[in-house]
Amino acid sequence: MIFDTHAHYDDQAFDEDREELLAQMEPSGIGGIVNVGASLRGIKASQELAEKYPFIYAAVGVHPDEVGALDEERLMWMYELCRRPKTVAVGEIGLDYYWDKEARGLQKQWFIRQLEMAKETGLAVNVHSREAAQDTFDIIKEHHAGTTGGIIHCFSSSAELAMEYIKLGYYIGVGGVVTFKNARVLKEVVEKIPLERIVVETDCPYLAPAPNRGKRNSSLYLPLVIGQIAQLKGITVQEAEAATCENALRVYNRIRQ
Ligand code: NI
């Protein structure tokens, strides 16, 4: 079974055919999907999807671009949602210095508060980091390492940094980018890190793997990502699929409880 550790099926890109598309998942071998919140609206929509579909789980979190919408009351609302049985992670949370939509101080403050929420509610984290590799790592090391672990989503740094995260107990999220011709560094990351620490993700509707690059992405394209991982690791597709699924269930351990 294939497990998609990071998707956004609440996105408007799926408004026209969401039900038909999600109905194809289980027959196509996609046995689990975590729909990740990014905004307050996305958090709510993720909960609704998780209520409706047995194979969809929810993550609760506010993306660094959206943290200006947070306050104490909304944080308390998120804490409540974290205690629901189908919530399996806090995310996506982190730092984004590429878009820099919110002041960096505010991004850091809410990243730390949401890491603390994950610890207190016993949930793994799903971390977004763009052009902010060092600050993200430093904050995780200081505020979250050795606690509930998590996934560094859409990993885009060096193999050395991936190994540092793995030492702290984290998993590396690999998606469509690994199939791109120019993704030399990410291919090297996949080659060098242990298979036991790789999970797959779509980040759909974005980042469709080759040869569908630029199209709307969905979990149905994950075999292309798994195929690339298998090739880089010199293992069979079945082995790559089984390992990445097992890893996802290990990091999102509430699913088995
Ligand atoms: Ni995302």
Ligand 1 center from residue 205 Cα (angstroms): 9
CB 58 within 8 A of CB 50: yes
Alpha helices, DSSP H, located in 24-178: 40-52, 72-82, 104-121, 133-143, 159-167
Residue 202 Cα to ligand 1 midpoint, Å, equals 8
Task: Tell how far the Cα of 247 is from the centroid of ligand 1, in angstroms.
Answer: 19
Long-range contacts of 135-140 (CB under 8 A, 24+ apart): 135/95, 135/97, 135/104, 135/108, 136/94, 136/95, 136/111, 137/161, 137/164, 137/165, 139/95, 139/108, 139/111, 139/112, 139/115, 140/115, 140/165, 140/168, 140/170
Burial of 158 (0-12, 13-18, 19+ CB in 10 A): middle
d(CA 39, ligand 1 centre) in Å = 11
- How many angstroms separate the alpha carbon of residue 239 from the centre of ligand 1? 26
pLDDT tens, position by position, 58-69: 999 999 999 999
Task: Summarize the confidence of residues 107-131 as an average pLDDT.
Answer: 98
Condensed to tens digits (0 to 9), the pLDDT of residues 93-117 reads 999 999 999 999 999 999 999 999 9
Taking the centre of ligand 1 as the mean of its atom positions, its distance from the CA of residue 7, in whole angstroms, is 6
Spacing, Cα 154 to ligand 1 middle (Å):
8
Counting Cβ atoms within 10 Å, is residue 251 exposed (0-12), middle (13-18) or buried (19+)? buried
Q: Is the pLDDT of residue 31 over 80?
A: yes
Return the axis-axis angle of helices 72-82 and 104-121, rounded to nearest 10°. 30
pLDDT at 254: 87
Quick check: 244 and 225 in contact, CB under 8 A?
no
Percent of the chain with pLDDT over 90: 98
Confidence bin at 255 (pLDDT 50/70/90): confident
For residue range 200-237, what is the model confidence (pLDDT) as tens digits? 999 999 999 999 999 999 999 999 999 999 999 999 99
Distance 94 CA to ligand 1 centre (A): 11
Cα of 36 from ligand 1 centre, angstroms: 7
pTM for the structure as a whole: 0.97
Distance 194 CA to ligand 1 centre (A): 24
CA of 231 to the centre of ligand 1 (A): 25
What is the CA(44)–ligand 1 centre distance, in A?
15
Q: Left if phi > 0, otherwise alpha if psi is -120 to 50, otherwise beta: which for 207?
A: left
With a pLDDT cut of 70, the percent of the chain lying above it is 100
Q: Using one digit for the tens of pLDDT, what is the confidence trace for 145-189?
A: 999 999 999 999 999 999 999 999 999 999 999 999 999 999 999
Q: Rounded to an integer, what distance in angstroms lies between the CA atom of residue 189 and that of residue 162?
A: 7
Q: How far is the CA of 151 from the centre of ligand 1 (A)?
A: 12
Write down the mean pLDDT value for the chain.
97
Kindly indicate the confidence band of residue 257, based on its pLDDT and cuts at 50, 70 and 90: low
Measured in Å, residue 8 CA sits from the centre of ligand 1 at 7
Residue 250 pLDDT more than 60?
yes
